[in-house]
Amino acid sequence: MTPAKYNQINELLSDYSTIFAGLEGAEAEIKKVQLAAAAGLLPTHAELKVKLTDLETKLKALSDEHYAELFPDTEKARTHNTPFGALQYRKSSSLEFKDGEKVLLKMKLACQAEAERVRNTSEPPRFTWDQVVRTKEEPNLDAMSDFDDATLAMFGITREHKDNFKISPFDMKSDKPAKKKGAA
pLDDT tens for 160-169 read 988 777 777 7
User: Could you tell me if 69 and 17 lie in one domain?
Assistant: yes
Q: Which of 65-74, 103-112, 170-179 has the highest mean pLDDT?
A: 103-112
* Average model confidence (pLDDT) across the chain: 86
Is residue 48 predicted with pLDDT exceeding 90? yes
Domain presence at residue 175: no
User: Could you tell me if 16 and 66 lie in one domain?
Assistant: yes
Residue 137 — very low, low, confident or very high, per pLDDT cuts 50/70/90? confident
Instruction: Give the C-alpha distances (Å, rounded to integers) separating 27 from 15, 23, 48, 171.
Output: 18, 6, 30, 18
What is the Cα–Cα distance from 183 to 65, expressed in whole angstroms?
Answer: 73
Cα 16 from chain centroid (whole Å): 34
Residue 41 has what pLDDT? 87
Contacts of 103 (CB under 8 A, 6+ apart): 97
- The total domain count for the chain is 2
Domain presence at residue 171: no
89 pairs with which residues across the strands? 78
Cα 34 from chain centroid (whole Å): 25
User: Could you tell me if 62 and 114 lie in one domain?
Assistant: no
User: Could you tell me if 68 and 12 lie in one domain?
Assistant: yes
Domain presence at residue 88: no
Domain presence at residue 162: no
Domain presence at residue 147: yes
User: Could you tell me if 111 and 144 lie in one domain?
Assistant: yes
Average pLDDT value for residue range 79-86: 88
More confident residue, 59 or 179: 59
Contacts of 70 (CB under 8 A, 6+ apart): 63, 80, 87
What is the Cα–Cα distance from 100 to 45, expressed in whole angstroms?
Answer: 40
User: Could you tell me if 71 and 105 lie in one domain?
Assistant: no
What domain range is 132 assigned to? 100-154
Phi, psi of 41 (to 5 degrees): -95, -15
User: Could you tell me if 105 and 66 lie in one domain?
Assistant: no
Tally of CB atoms within 10 A around 60: 12
User: Could you tell me if 104 and 65 lie in one domain?
Assistant: no
